[in-house]
Structure 1
């Protein structure tokens, strides 16, 4: 692994870039050059206070070390990144002296992931270098992936190293370009066989704790269970076991006796079994619904759970603090909340095994939560509940990222091409074009390319009843089908742009109904990587992340009206009804896409693909009357023939003499020029304008 050293002379602005192997660099910092610039710097700092703004005159003689990136020179002489090393640098600064420096280095050695630990150029700091890799042992290559990977790696490194270090780590903005000055360390720590941390390629920059992360951090394994039959069955078995033990201890108790005596003993056993409080309430109400009052049962169980947890001690908290903490405990005990960042909706479900699905938090739900809190004796107002729901106490939830992270490992069976094969057609390129489009769709869900959008869209053309729209819908898994729509309104441009961040797949149903005037806006939507809009009730314009890919259907064949080409569409004639009743293993389908993207397979359309698209789309292009009239009176010269050079206006004027319906206008002339270019008519630029070589028929 090569480390980059860059020295910049401030007076001349000249920059010197050099690289050396890591072990050679560590040997180099053990001794100092005759100029002794590091020693002079440390001597100066020894006699200055930390807040003094002194400047060492030879500071530019000490090159900066870039452990994370190997730099090189481009053809124009500028600096460019050649390789990402996957090294994160942690800094512990403001140490008192050499003893504290050595203590930090010794502590850093305790972790096998420490690649190097060296004294900083000031003599009062330590630089700790930690290695990271992807699960397959490789490192990200694209700059946007490197930035995300490095930011998340820095956060992980801080969380792992801070508990073992006696002094705080100086937190800095995580960047692969982080560097430090050349230093002097007689005894640096270097472990070339350090075990790197393994980290998945992240989807986004680390931010607030997400709903998925909060669930994984739950200490009680029962609360980490996904809702469904497994959870219900587990809780039922545990409760029945606890009930059996309680009945054994209450030998004389029988149904009809006072429930409270049994409830106390039962609740203690439920608590010891790790059954959540809300689940205990539900199970008791199921067993003793005839003689149990829910409010009494709930209060009794809640008080006993508090007692078992050690609650109820006298506190020095103010009344406001106590109410706030009680409200937070109530919310976390009885409900699960999450903020859906795709739909911008607040969602919730009750914490018991029969409420499997999250529901939007509407006004009715807010009022019910407030009433439940008041019934438990928590003196809260509606605004207190609303304040909690609009705070960072509610974790963020991205359903797209959550689904893609949970698909698991691909089993090796090709399912994307099999999904394409459901569409009966005669186009030999359809399977591979659909495969590329599908990878492109998933890659943009992951946010891998923010400079370009998935601007290519399949168009399924066929008779009514061929189940084209149904096929478009089953491309998405049931968990993400809320992100499908076929109701795109081109009349409302703002709403149409909002759809780019709200939906994952947009079906332009009845594509032939899109007018020529709307084609320009459609092209704008297809190639727009992000949308800059002001959200409803928002006060500022924000950048909205795009998730949407497009697909379309039509019953008519002459669809494409753009004279400049048709590379943005994959037009396929469906020859028979599509079999949409098949069972699709969606997790493996998307696991295949994730595996291909992770391994660096191309997901964008290159020039070869676009040439195939243009050629196969010719039969779907709509030929205008002007173009038809041109083919009646002109043709392109064949090899060896000499044609006549004419401007587009001269050709149109000639055609006007043949048909009086043609109107001469600037838009007509410019459009006609694109038509000639599409038909590959030879052209050249002259003083008279652009001329085209044609041969006149029936002259």
Structure 2
């Protein structure tokens, strides 16, 4: 980077930045490649993965005045013994610093997880050290998410400093991510009295607000219908503006705007100047009320110290503190509310926990939808079928599995997008295999890591209200150990699978609300005889796993879900046709649970063939003979459902005035 190529891309970028405005994308940036100092990247199954970790921490100092200041800062940082490399960034207004780290035995992390933990702690150490060196320069490190894949654009700096003999900093291998907040933003003294009065607002907005409140009080105090009303109004308005601390020329300008040429400018200027000459104690008594001031200061404090968002899926407000080493959003708890209130009081705000709670549970906090955020950030699909490839990771003897999984996956994504509010994704894959073959891991891996907080394998169908709320709370629900779902809950399970929307009362709410359903279902089991309701077998894609599931494969989640979104956009069907449902029912016959009553019937009776001599008996008569022959006493519930069992077994039935008579042959 001490020399530049013939095309001079860095010089072209710096030249473009001189003439660029404050917004818009500069195309010259795209011509500069990214440099990864700390990791060596490779590709595995079309996904970028880490091959090696080098322990180099990249720090950024941004917001410099220009190249001269950047060069001075670079030269100062080059004198520190911990600095391995430092150079001016591609913009010419930043400085990059590279600091090497090792473990005490001279080694570096070998796994991705170890590298992630090591890098986060090393980054925190480096920031704390170099921040102290930058204090005399009134500069600060720009905090970034400390991941090993940190990178920067290629740059050109003839004065680049490189010390190959630098002694790396030694750091023990950490076991967890750093949680402690080690830096708090300091509140600098503001020299502008208007900014002290209404912090966080643009100066023009502050003056406009103060002028309007001053005008409101003047209009209430002066009778404008009198002949000299305009003159008196200007005098009273000017007094209020003086006490509010508005500069004289600003008062003239806003007054002329208000009267729209009805009063000569010379009269306005002379009146304002005379009042400002006579009045005392400029800015001593602003017309803005104390409550308005507190509201403005609260907005400024919350926006300066924290970021908030309302997670529509989790149903909670989440936060992260600005300029700290905590980069992930976390739920706002009572402890957090108290901490925010204490921090506000320490800055002189009379803000209590109830006020903080009121602010957080208002429309001041923007809405955040994890599903929408994920789906709308997907890249363009490259045309490769990854959904069926994901299905192929599960070894099975069902040739329809890839196509059925593809259909179910599209329905799941369509449900997230809200494409169909009339029908639910009522079909669920049911993975049946030996313990330890990777069923649960496969189900969890269907969601990308950032969305796995919205996956659960714990649902209790006996708690019906909670189970229904899960449809709105989670994106994917795994009915783990499906064979443990009792027969008493099969009816509710059928109901919840086909429920498109929810009409429930949330906890701590009095009204019933209509909630959107996001959840799709998948299930696992170690046993193959588990479908106790034959009428509901079309709702399951049962597959018998014949080997170990390939859970070590790298999944390209952006392209996987981009395929689903694009196919749905192109009109691909996301529901199962009647022909496909017939195939499901046929394939699922081997997984149906045969009850003891069925076994007893088949032991003592069989269905009559067409034209065969047989007996026509009521279901209760057949059951009575079975009990007499077997010696088993069957419950009243079994007696009631015995007719359904006979119909399931295909026993011919004749409807007569005395009831349904079944054609059977006693063995």
The TM-score normalised by the length of structure 2 is 0.60
Matches of 2:184 and 2:65, distance apart in 1: 24
Q: Tell whether the 8 Å contact from 1:439 to 1:597 is kept in structure 2 after alignment.
A: yes
- Tell whether 2:465 aligns with 1:576: no
SS in 1 for 2:62: helix
Matches of 1:411 and 1:248, distance apart in 2: 46
- Tell whether 2:370 aligns with 1:399: yes
Q: 1:396 to 1:306 in 2, by over 3 A?
A: same
Matches of 2:610 and 2:562, distance apart in 1: 52
Q: Tell whether the 8 Å contact from 2:184 to 2:323 is kept in structure 1 after alignment.
A: no
Matches of 2:131 and 2:193, distance apart in 1: 17
Q: How many residues align?
A: 448
Matches within 5 A, 1:609-648: 609-638=580-609, 641=612, 644-648=615-619
Matches of 1:324 and 1:381, distance apart in 2: 13
Matches of 1:507 and 1:302, distance apart in 2: 59
Matches of 2:505 and 2:605, distance apart in 1: 52
For residue 91 of structure 1, what is the aligned residue in structure 2?
Answer: none
Structure 1 range deviating more: 238-247 or 475-484:
238-247
For residue 533 of structure 2, what is the aligned residue in structure 1?
Answer: 562
- Tell whether 2:485 aligns with 1:514: yes
> 1:351: Cα distance to partner?
3.4
Q: Tell whether the 8 Å contact from 1:342 to 1:398 is kept in structure 2 after alignment.
A: yes
Matches within 5 A, 1:196-595: 236-239=60-63, 245=69, 285-288=131-134, 298-300=187-189, 310=203, 314=245, 316-352=287-323, 355-595=326-566
> 1:248: Cα distance to partner?
6.7
Q: Tell whether the 8 Å contact from 1:563 to 1:671 is kept in structure 2 after alignment.
A: no
- Tell whether 2:597 aligns with 1:597: no
Matches of 1:570 and 1:479, distance apart in 2: 27
Q: 1:403 to 1:295 in 2, by over 3 A?
A: closer
- Tell whether 2:657 aligns with 1:687: yes
**Runs of at least 4 residues off by over 6 Å:** 219-222, 246-249, 281-284, 290-296, 301-305
> 1:369: Cα distance to partner?
2.6
SS in 1 for 2:495: helix
SS in 1 for 2:187: helix
For residue 677 of structure 1, what is the aligned residue in structure 2?
Answer: 647
Q: 1:368 to 1:448 in 2, by over 3 A?
A: same
Matches within 5 A, 1:15-164: none
> 1:583: Cα distance to partner?
0.7
Q: 1:468 to 1:246 in 2, by over 3 A?
A: closer
Q: 1:238 to 1:635 in 2, by over 3 A?
A: same
Rg comparison, structure with higher value:
2
Q: Tell whether the 8 Å contact from 1:339 to 1:397 is kept in structure 2 after alignment.
A: yes
The TM-score normalised by the length of structure 1 is 0.57
For residue 653 of structure 1, what is the aligned residue in structure 2?
Answer: 624
SS in 2 for 1:553: strand
Q: 1:536 to 1:594 in 2, by over 3 A?
A: same
Matches of 2:63 and 2:422, distance apart in 1: 55
> 1:473: Cα distance to partner?
0.4
Q: 1:414 to 1:369 in 2, by over 3 A?
A: same
Matches of 1:371 and 1:302, distance apart in 2: 25
> 1:516: Cα distance to partner?
2.0
Matches of 1:358 and 1:229, distance apart in 2: 28
> 1:485: Cα distance to partner?
1.0
Matches of 1:481 and 1:443, distance apart in 2: 18
> 1:339: Cα distance to partner?
0.4
Matches of 1:659 and 1:408, distance apart in 2: 65
SS in 1 for 2:358: helix
For residue 608 of structure 1, what is the aligned residue in structure 2?
Answer: 579
Matches of 2:577 and 2:341, distance apart in 1: 57
> 1:580: Cα distance to partner?
0.5
Structure 2: which 5+ runs fail to align?
1-21, 26-33, 37-56, 80-92, 95-126, 141-182, 208-244, 247-286
Per-residue Cα deviation, 1:545-584 (whole angstroms, up to 9, x for no partner): 2211111111112111125452222211111111101110
> 1:366: Cα distance to partner?
2.3
Per-residue Cα deviation, 1:178-230 (whole angstroms, up to 9, x for no partner): xxxxxxxxxxxxxxxxxxxxxxxxxxxxxxxxxxxxxxxxx8679xxxxx999
Structure 1: which 5+ runs fail to align?
1-218, 223-227, 256-268, 271-280
RMSD (Å), alpha carbons: 3.9
Q: Tell whether the 8 Å contact from 1:485 to 1:507 is kept in structure 2 after alignment.
A: yes
> 1:299: Cα distance to partner?
0.6
For residue 43 of structure 2, what is the aligned residue in structure 1?
Answer: none
Q: 1:248 to 1:551 in 2, by over 3 A?
A: closer
Structure 1 range deviating more: 685-694 or 298-307:
298-307
Matches of 2:373 and 2:421, distance apart in 1: 20
